[in-house]
Amino acid sequence: MRMKLTRRQFLQGVSAVVAGICFQAGARAGTGATPKIQRIETFPLIYPTIGRFKFFEGPKGRPTGRPAVLVKITAENGVVGWGQSVPIPKWSYETLETVHSTIARYLGPELIGLDPADGAAIQAVLNSNIAPSFSTGQPICKAGLDLALADLNGRLRHENAAHAWKRKGRDTITLSWTLNPRTLDEVEGLVAQGRARGYRNFNVKVAPDPKFDLELCRIVKRLVPDGFLWADANGGYDEATALAVIPKLADIGVPVLEQPLPANRLTGYQRLKKQGALPIIMDEGVVSSVELEEFIKLGCLDGVAMKPARCGGLTEARRQIEMVLNAGMMFLGSGLTDPDSSLAASLVIYGAYDLKYPAALNGPQFIDGSVLRQPFQVANGALAVPTGPGLGVEVDEGKIEKFLVKL
């Protein structure tokens, strides 16, 4: 019989490990039982960045770079799974500090002793200890745990995480090069940088200036006439501006517009979809499948730009992709400038679900450094889908200290 510790007893056994928080189970399950979760460790990291990406700028006094929390879950038999949370304060409300403290103080202790494959029990713990507001509470934080569990369960089964999904997709994911120029004079050089690294498809950050945006798209379309040109407004237009600019973007040859309005402007989204000038893709507003189902019923969108990191991990991302595909809508793949384990998870799910469009996974473009034994390498504007056990990549623990920060 497995001994159940009280929260007080458990917390008395907490010990710090390499500036992460390590939680140790007080007892093992009986022999022959499924290995339970024994330890959860968190490592707050900041990766150096290269180039300019607007979401990593400021505020003053905050260390520059790409913050991430590496999550290590160890089962009773010693098998380890790795995940990663990738907060961006200028994109969402989650920070390096909140992710780290939430796992260390609220979620980690409650997961000890659970079966890592018991998805219902895991989700019940996550949702009862960090409750939702409009949607899933702290989804970026929870994604790190979900990814680590997917990695651990795959390794316990000696198979890739996607094997259980029984889907045959693709072996490589074509990437899109992100453009967020400050001036139009920068565009040609930025496109050239992407082309020099083998990229032939581009996604551009637009809004709030429609005049600038239209000229930006004209330049990119002239320079790369056959590439997939994906415009992302990150909720930066108001409804009147969006209604006016979307037909003009369509005339230039832009095939889709992502998140034209703030996430809570649902009647505005209905009007944009009804206008029909371009497919309207949602991103920031879709966290759980509950609101996605409502948005589909309300006629607010033509597709979703998926991000496993945004919606709590692979478990929820799979539900949403299947909902979109079943509704005959567009499924686009993007990310949150993901490093390492988070990038691996995106590649695994996009490969399994046969992503048809270039993915806006710009971690390799903007991040300088890796904790993987074999870091990802872009070849001809594409990345290979990892095929090894779990998420398919191996973390080199000796590399963690280089990026580790003290909170």
Could you read off the pLDDT of 323-334 as tens digits, one per residue?
999 999 999 999
Q: Which residue has the higher pLDDT, 22 or 139?
A: 139
Q: How confident is the model at residue 17 (pLDDT cuts 50, 70, 90)?
A: very low
Is the same domain home to 153 and 214?
A: no
- What pLDDT shows up at residue 18? 35
Where residue 245 sits, what CATH number does that domain have?
A: 3.20.20.120
Residue 1 belongs to a domain: no
- What pLDDT shows up at residue 133? 84
Is the same domain home to 271 and 336?
A: yes
- What pLDDT shows up at residue 21? 39
Cα dihedral across residues 257, 261, 267, 268: positive or negative: negative
What value does the mean pLDDT take over residues 264-288?
97
Q: Is the pLDDT of residue 310 over 90?
A: yes
Mean pLDDT rounded to a whole number for the chain:
91
Please name which of 301, 305, 296 lies closest in space to residue 333, comparing C-alpha atoms.
Answer: 305
Q: Is the pLDDT of residue 239 over 50?
A: yes
Q: Is the pTM of this model over 0.85?
A: yes
CA dist 31 and 34 (Å) reads 9
Q: How confident is the model at residue 63 (pLDDT cuts 50, 70, 90)?
A: low
What percentage of residues in the chain have a pLDDT greater than 90?
Answer: 84
Is the same domain home to 152 and 235?
A: no
pLDDT tens readout for residues 208-236: 999 999 999 999 999 999 999 999 999 99
Phi, psi of 253 (to 5 degrees): 115, 15
Is the same domain home to 170 and 317?
A: yes
Which of 110, 140, 159 terminates a domain? The answer is: 159
Is the same domain home to 116 and 203?
A: no
CA-CA-CA-CA torsion for 385, 389, 393, 399, nearest 10 degrees? 180
CA-CA-CA-CA torsion for 123, 129, 135, 141, nearest 10 degrees? -80
Peptide bond preceding 59: is omega within 30 degrees of 0, i.e. cis? yes
Q: Which residue has the higher pLDDT, 31 or 230?
A: 230
Residue ranges of alpha helices (H) inside 94-209 are 96-102, 108-111, 119-129, 139-157, 187-196
Residue 406 belongs to a domain: no
Is the same domain home to 269 and 361?
A: yes
Residue 185 belongs to a domain: yes
In this structure, what token pair is assigned to residue 346? Answer: 């995106």
What value does the mean pLDDT take over residues 300-315?
97
Three-state SS at 160: strand
Q: How confident is the model at residue 92 (pLDDT cuts 50, 70, 90)?
A: confident
Q: Is the pLDDT of residue 34 over 90?
A: no
Is the same domain home to 339 and 201?
A: yes
- What pLDDT shows up at residue 64? 81
Domain that holds residue 76: 7-159
CA dist 191 and 193 (Å) reads 5
The radius of gyration of the chain's CA atoms, rounded to the nearest angstrom, is 21
Is the same domain home to 131 and 168?
A: no
CA dist 187 and 400 (Å) reads 35
Residue 2 belongs to a domain: no
Residue 407 belongs to a domain: no
Placement of tokens 């963690």 in the chain? 400
Contacts of 220 (CB under 8 A, 6+ apart): 179, 187, 191, 202, 204, 227, 229
Placement of tokens 């019940």 in the chain? 124
The total of structural domains in the chain comes to 2
